Amino acid sequence: MATFDLTSLRAVVFDTDGVVTDTARVHAAAWKHVFDPFLRGRSGPFDIRADYLAHVDGRPRLDGVRTFLASRGISLPEGGPDDEPGAATVHGLGLAKDALFVEQIRQHGVAPFPSTVALLHELRRRGCRTGVVSASRHCRAVVSSAGLLHLFDVLVDGTEAARLGLPGKPDPALFLEAARRLELPPAQVAIVEDALPGVEAGRRGGFGQVVAVDRSGTQAAAMLAAGAGAVMADLADADVTGRVPVGRR
């Protein structure tokens, strides 16, 4: 179990997909739909759990394409943002996945995790500030669709990362930018992540606490090795103690 001690912490920054919203599975399914036809005759099919967690989860979309293909010994031309979705380029595969994800969200909406929503309310009730980050350019739309935008003081997503030239996880730049916008040193900010690159980013950024969510039940050891201070199957297991004093929020 993780305890957020608000006598030392002033804010908690959450990853989006798989932590705040139940969209990690939508991302994974979209990647499989794109990769499997491409891999036919080249390699085995995309494993929606092992390959997604090891090579794609938590990374910017194009980095995910590069990292997964490298794991299969496949290299492709980079292409560009004007490529046809599904073209045999890094951009082409990334664009096809993006289109599928957006369509799924448009058709079915976004479901938040009730335990995360409850934790957000409890943190804010005790004076703790909150932020949300994502490598995805769709973070704002996803959080808005889930009806949760009002529960976050800051949001830093893939669109902001591109505008500011921030590298993706496991570099801590996204989290550090959220802390900067909260006007807090990293040591007073906790990070909640469900992807190994994000856990590593929290450790590398010098954050006060790194909490990992392992919904698959397969990554606890790796998350602890990457720098998590605690690993939970769900944030319902988290506890909050103390209160941020008025004037220090």
DSSP H stretches of helix in the chain: 24-39, 50-51, 61-71, 90-108, 114-125, 139-145, 158-164, 173-182, 196-204, 220-226
The dihedral built from the CA positions of residue 221, 197, 17 and 99, taken in this order, carries a sign that is: negative
Both structure tokens of 149? 């935008």
Whether residue 17 lies in the annotated active site: yes
Helix (H, G, I), strand (E, B) or coil at 135: coil
Which one from 5, 17, 47, 239 is the annotated catalytic residue?
A: 17
* Interatomic CA distance for residues 238 and 4, integer angstroms: 8
Both structure tokens of 79? 């292409």
Backbone angles phi, psi at 14, to 5 degrees: -105, 140
Which one from 15, 51, 83, 194 is the annotated catalytic residue?
A: 15
Residues in the chain: 249
* Interatomic CA distance for residues 231 and 234, integer angstroms: 9
C-beta neighbour count of 230 within 10 angstroms = 17
The DSSP code for 166 is P
* Interatomic CA distance for residues 173 and 155, integer angstroms: 13
Residue carrying structure tokens 């491409």 = 38
User: Which residues are annotated as catalytic?
Assistant: 15, 17
